[in-house]
């Protein structure tokens, strides 16, 4: 019995370590080499013989630990803005970890039921399929992808334009998995094959990756970061001050005669579509500055619903609009089954937003593809903007919720991945930071750190053309499906 419990504790310790190690490899601490250690710890935790439901519990535990560590900043959001007591906030984080950690269950179950020699061959594919599945559920959280570990190293991101974060994530996990198999006497040859194939495929994708196709003349963009805190946003007595701050930065930007002035999400406490005085101010400012103004505001639908929208006001008076299509669950909308868990103070417009139905670039002098806040984590949403004609991408966000936590870097990293995948400039205006401009190769040309007030002035060039991942989406996920089917079809189940 002691031996059994020792094995159980060893497996649980390895599973928890796998979750922690992957969290530390992600943006935040960004100890990226640990991404190659994660597969070994996770697969080693499943090595001892066990029933499938034992593996399910182990995978769930590993996933829960991972999300608790990677998203520990949720405690500050719930306690600081949601009215939760500290213990309640930690309880909320654990519940979130249990929910999101469930995506590790099918990975663990498959590893437990296949023959040991088969595991190194299919683990990378099964892992990445579970990661891709998070993007298509309305309630899961496709925030931290494996590929984001390399977001700070643009020289290693070139292949993204061919196979996206899905493919690069598979490659990273395959190298780590092969290294684990190489260390085991029974799977050494398989490890050599897995590492070799992964390196060859990564190298090939990098070599064939298309570069950006620039078109038209360069233009100048001013990004506004007013530094408005959540407390200021929610206090009507502070609105005159926060409003003046935005206008002062915009006036300073207009002195540089930019083609485009971009405000972040929630920059102003007014409604662009229904506040006549506010709309007139924007129109007159755009005309006098000779610049297109891009801003965020709550919008209204024909049936009386509300949308989280972006507007582009041109100097000639023309206005275009984009309504956010991917809403934040438990933030911008709440499922009926989840209403009992949410505090009204956490999200003031709780359950009020309606998702947009059409992805169309804004007419901002150039076709400007929008991703409002959370949407930047969805490669398919951004790719649809490019397929609709976007030549530059912009993301407007309010990251004031996150203070100075890991969430800031985790969110910013997603913009870097989208820039390389689409081979488009991505400009990012954040209420309290991080604002920045990212070129089509993933280099951060300029950025304004969190907690600062100011503006960035960046010259960039529109791009055309469609990369393979823009044309075909998550095509590497289908390759992974084929890999799994082929391997399972040729190997005995054990």
pLDDT digits (tens, 9 = 90+) for 10-41: 999 999 999 999 999 999 999 999 999 999 99
Do 235 and 364 share a domain, yes or no? yes
Selected residue with higher pLDDT from 340 and 484: 484
Do 100 and 231 share a domain, yes or no? no
The whole-angstrom separation of Cα 59 and Cα 42 is: 8
Segment 376-422, tens digit of pLDDT: 999 999 999 999 999 999 999 999 989 889 999 999 999 999 999 99
Decide which of 163, 193, 210 is a domain's last residue: 210
Decide which of 210, 238, 259 is a domain's last residue: 210
For residue 272, which of 202, 321, 328 has the smallest C-alpha distance?
321
Beta bridge mates, 394: 370, 427
Do 130 and 225 share a domain, yes or no? no
Is residue 256 within 8 A of residue 220, CB to CB? The reply is yes
Do 425 and 459 share a domain, yes or no? yes
Distance of CA 367 to the CA centre of its chain: 23
Chain-wide mean pLDDT for the chain? 91
Segment 79-115, tens digit of pLDDT: 888 778 999 999 999 999 999 999 999 999 999 988 8
Do 343 and 370 share a domain, yes or no? yes
Do 291 and 335 share a domain, yes or no? yes
Residue 480 in any domain: the answer is no
Do 20 and 68 share a domain, yes or no? yes
Do 304 and 233 share a domain, yes or no? yes
Helix and strand counts by DSSP (H, E) for the chain: 16, 14
Residue 224 parent element (H or E): strand 219-225
The whole-angstrom separation of Cα 292 and Cα 279 is: 14
Selected residue with higher pLDDT from 471 and 342: 471
pLDDT confidence of residue 343: 53
Segment 125-144, tens digit of pLDDT: 999 999 999 988 877 878 89
Q: In 287-358, which ranges are E strands? A: 292-300, 306-313, 319-323
CATH at residue 286: 3.60.110.10
A 10 A CB-CB count for 216 gives: 11
Continuous H helices in 221-321? 230-234, 239-254, 276-289
Do 387 and 311 share a domain, yes or no? yes
**pLDDT band at residue 494, thresholds of 50, 70 and 90?**
very low
Q: In 1-150, which ranges are E strands? A: none
Segment 227-244, tens digit of pLDDT: 998 888 888 999 999 999
Query: Where in the sequence is the domain holding 119, given as residue range(s)?
Result: 2-210
Q: Total structural domains in the chain?
A: 2
A 10 A CB-CB count for 81 gives: 18
Do 242 and 193 share a domain, yes or no? no
Q: Could you tell me which residues come within 8 angstroms of residue 184 by beta carbon, excluding any fewer than 6 positions away?
A: 191
Q: Kindly report each contact of residues 195-203 with a partner whose C-beta sits within 8 Å and lies 24 or more positions away, as own/partner.
A: 198/124, 198/171, 198/174, 199/175, 201/171, 202/159, 202/168, 202/171
pLDDT confidence of residue 6: 74
Beta strand 454-460 with 213-214: parallel, antiparallel or unpaired? unpaired
Segment 454-463, tens digit of pLDDT: 999 999 999 9
Both ends of the chain: CA-CA distance in Å? 24
Do 202 and 247 share a domain, yes or no? no
Do 124 and 261 share a domain, yes or no? no
């Amino acid at each position: 019995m002691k031996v059994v419990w020792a094995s159980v504790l060893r497996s649980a310790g390895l599973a928890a370590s796998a979750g922690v190690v992957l969290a530390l490899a992600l943006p935040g601490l960004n100890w990226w080499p640990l991404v190659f250690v994660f597969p070994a710890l996770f697969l080693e935790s499943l090595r001892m013989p066990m029933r499938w439901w034992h593996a399910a519990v182990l995978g769930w535990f590993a996933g829960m630990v991972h999300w608790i560590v990677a998203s520990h900043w949720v405690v500050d959001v719930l306690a600081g803005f949601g009215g939760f007591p500290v213990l309640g906030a930690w309880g909320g984080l654990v519940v979130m970890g249990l929910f999101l950690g469930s995506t590790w269950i099918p990975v663990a179950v498959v590893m437990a039921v296949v023959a040991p020699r088969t595991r190194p061959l299919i683990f990378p594919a099964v892992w990445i399929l579970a990661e891709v599945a998070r993007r298509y559920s309305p309630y899961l959280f496709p925030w931290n992808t494996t590929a984001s570990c390399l977001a700070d190293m643009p020289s290693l991101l070139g292949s993204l334009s061919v196979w996206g974060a899905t493919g690069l994530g598979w490659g990273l996990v395959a190298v780590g998995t092969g290294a684990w198999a190489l260390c085991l006497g029974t799977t050494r040859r398989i490890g050599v094959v897995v590492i070799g194939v992964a390196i060859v495929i990564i190298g090939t994708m990098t070599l064939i990756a298309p570069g950006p196709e620039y078109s038209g003349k360069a233009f100048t963009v001013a990004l506004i970061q007013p530094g408005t805190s959540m407390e200021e946003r929610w206090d009507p007595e502070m609105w005159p001050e926060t409003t003046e701050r935005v206008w002062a930065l915009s006036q300073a930007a207009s002195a540089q005669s930019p083609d485009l002035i971009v405000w972040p999400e929630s920059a102003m406490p007014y409604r662009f579509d229904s506040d006549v005085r506010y709309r007139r101010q924007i129109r007159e400012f755009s005309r006098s500055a000779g610049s297109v103004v891009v801003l965020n505001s709550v919008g209204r639908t024909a049936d009386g619903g509300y949308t989280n929208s972006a507007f582009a006001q041109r100097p000639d008076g023309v206005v275009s609009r984009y309504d956010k299509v991917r809403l934040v669950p438990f933030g911008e909308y709440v499922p009926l089954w989840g209403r009992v868990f949410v505090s009204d103070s956490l999200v003031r417009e709780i359950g009020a937003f309606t998702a947009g139905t059409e992805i169309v670039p804004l007419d901002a002098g150039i076709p400007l593809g929008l991703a409002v806040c959370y949407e930047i984590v969805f490669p398919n949403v951004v790719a649809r903007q490019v397929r609709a004609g976007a030549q530059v991408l912009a993301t407007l966000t309010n990251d004031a919720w996150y203070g100075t936590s890991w969430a800031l870097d985790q969110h910013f990293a997603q913009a870097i991945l989208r820039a390389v995948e689409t081979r488009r400039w991505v400009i990012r205006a954040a209420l309290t930071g991080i604002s920045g401009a990212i070129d089509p190769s993933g280099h951060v040309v300029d950025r304004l750190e969190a907690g600062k007030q100011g503006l960035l002035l960046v010259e960039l060039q529109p791009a055309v053309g469609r990369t393979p991942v823009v044309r075909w989406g998550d095509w590497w996920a289908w390759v992974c499906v084929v890999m799994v089917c082929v391997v399972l079809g040729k190997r005995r189940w054990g």
